[in-house]
A and B are shown apart, each in its own frame.
Chain A
Amino acid sequence: MSKPRDKQMTIDEVVAQLSDGMTIGIGGWGPRRKPMALVRAILRSDLKDLTIVSWGGADVGLLARAGKIRKVIYAFVSLDSIPLEPNFQRARQNGTIPEVVELDEGMFQTGLYAAAQRLPFLPMRAGLGSDVLVNNTWIKTVTSPYADENGDFEDFTAVPALKLDVALVHMNRADAHGNATYLGPDPYFDDLFVQAADKAYLTCEEIVDTAGLTVDTAVQRLLISRMAIDGVVETPNGAHFTTCTPDYERDEKFQKAYAAAAGGTDEEWTAFEQRFLAGDEAAYQAAVAAFAAEEAAK
């Protein structure tokens, strides 16, 4: 019986597909279902001058702190229960990210839609009158070819396509071919990220048989089709310390420790990096388990 190809690989094999200067879209939303194992693998790599497109959380903060970002495209960067991301704040206030594109959230989604539909732009109202269009003078407006009810030809923001070289997303379950489901409350925009990208890689909590994807799970939760996916990696706890509901919730204690270190002295940050980010993913997960045990003993 013929089967679609097996796309399983390791996180390091995914990172080996990336190169300096690439535009990388990171799925999830703020501190929710982020492909953090891949973000950590990028931190360990020599990659540089990246353009990061993200509903930003610690992914943006970590990559900014590590000096990996040449350009960032975002509508917000937040840890939710901790509203402002300290590493991102530091990078912005020190001016260490050379290029910054802050969009409206709806524009961000529309930019992904445009890229996913292979259009150069899509029109919308968002952005008009705001400083999003003042701080990004390369974003143009477009005049409607149709008169409105008052006979006016309205101008709209021509939201440019957010075309990605690569998309990285994390899902709850996937098969070896790249079909994947989210089991949490919200799909976020992961399907748009993968369709907006030339290449897309997905990590997941667990790889299951294709038939297993719809056992006890509504077919409507199958968000991502294998035709958009180039590689699949099983990374249990791979979204840590962001949410991966219902497999696990956000690790608030760890996030607090992260934010304290990020907002603290250089020494405090270095200590955090040494403890958690210096080794590979297995070392990270071991350090996280040790941290959790320490916290539980308090």
Chain B
Amino acid sequence: MTEFSRAEVCAAAIADAFAEDGEIFASPMGMLPMLGVRLAKLTSNPDLVISDGESLFLGGTPPLFAKADVVEGWIPFRRVFDVVAYGKRHVMMGATQVDKQGNQNISAIGDFAQPKRQLLGSRGAPGNTVNNRTSYWVPKHGPRVFVENVDIVSGVGPARAKAAGPGASKYNDIHRIVSNLAVFDVKGEGDTVRLLSVHPGVTIDEVIEATGFELSIPAEVPVTREPTETELMIIRNVLDPKTLRDREVPPVTAEATK
């Protein structure tokens, strides 16, 4: 059996989230999402449009944080909002909190008027979630991230979008939540977070224990697929030769999986 790391499983799971997207702007926030999106572009979905994270659409698929590449377009910040409204975009964002209804918070922890901890601000999350496909990446799955109700709703889950009317729900599409333990969608009963697969070496009980709300769990929960030989070669030799991925998702020791 081929050896692979948890980070590599996550990269393949993130790539799978973008596999069926066709020719759209894949917009990853953070290192593992960037790795996963570029992996998808080199394997399942070569039509993906990717950027340097700043202002350029890239013609090629360079390694993480590499600068030089063919340029195929210009995407300064202002034009990102045009693409958001146009809809041909799939963003994978971080989430300081995500709740049972698939709402996400990156604004602040505690009361908005005087938060216990001020975070970034809602950034583009409110607009992303009512305009284009949105996924979340959680590198450290735990009950403080997966909470019953987020303190502040930045990203809008399907139930809240529906309650706000068709203007909000028409294009609301929370596609995947990928964590270091498992993969989810928000298609559980009553638009709740549903477990889709657990990563190799992770049990369903571990996921339940690390989640601060009651998950929707289907009768059959498969194991997240292993990365292929080709994917591992691309991740290790092309996209991330410096193994930056292990900083975000540290390798799981044999001890920890017992």
Contacts and interface: CB of A to CB of B under 8 A. Distances in A.
Nearest to A94: B114
A49 interface: no
A100 B153 CA distance: 16
B164 A128 contact: yes
A200 to B, nearest CB: 18
Contact of B121 (A75, A150, A154): A75
A93 B131 contact: no
Contacts of B54: 185-186
A-B pairs with the 9 shortest C-beta distances?
A126-B127, A128-B168, A76-B121, A130-B126, A154-B167, A92-B118, A129-B156, A129-B164, A104-B126
Interface range on chain A: under 10, 10 to 19, 20 to 34, or 35 or more? 35 or more
A172 B142 CA distance: 46
Contacts of B152: 131, 135
17 contacts: A93-B116, A93-B117, A104-B123, A106-B85, A106-B127, A107-B127, A125-B127, A125-B130, A128-B165, A128-B167, A129-B160, A129-B172, A130-B126, A130-B154, A148-B170, A188-B76, A189-B77
A12 B188 CA distance: 60
Contacts, number: 149
Nearest to A125: B130
A152 interface: yes
A42 B127 CA distance: 33
Interface string B190-224: 00000000000000000000000000000000000
Contacts of B112: 100, 102, 131, 135
Interface in A38-93: 56, 74-78, 83-84, 88-89, 92-93
B109 to A, nearest CB: 10
Contacts of A56: 121
Contact of A92 (B115, B131, B161): B115
Contacts of B17: none
Contact of A187 (B76, B113, B120): B76
Contacts of A106: 81, 84-85, 124, 126-127
Given A104-B123, A107-B127, A125-B167, 16 more contacts: A76-B123, A77-B120, A105-B81, A106-B81, A125-B130, A126-B131, A127-B126, A129-B160, A130-B125, A130-B126, A130-B156, A131-B152, A141-B167, A148-B166, A185-B56, A187-B78
Interface string B101-141: 00000011000111111111111111101110000000000
Interface string B18-46: 00000000000000000000000000000
Given A95-B113, A95-B114, A131-B154, A102 B167 contact: no
Contact of B108 (A75, A92, A107, A125): A92
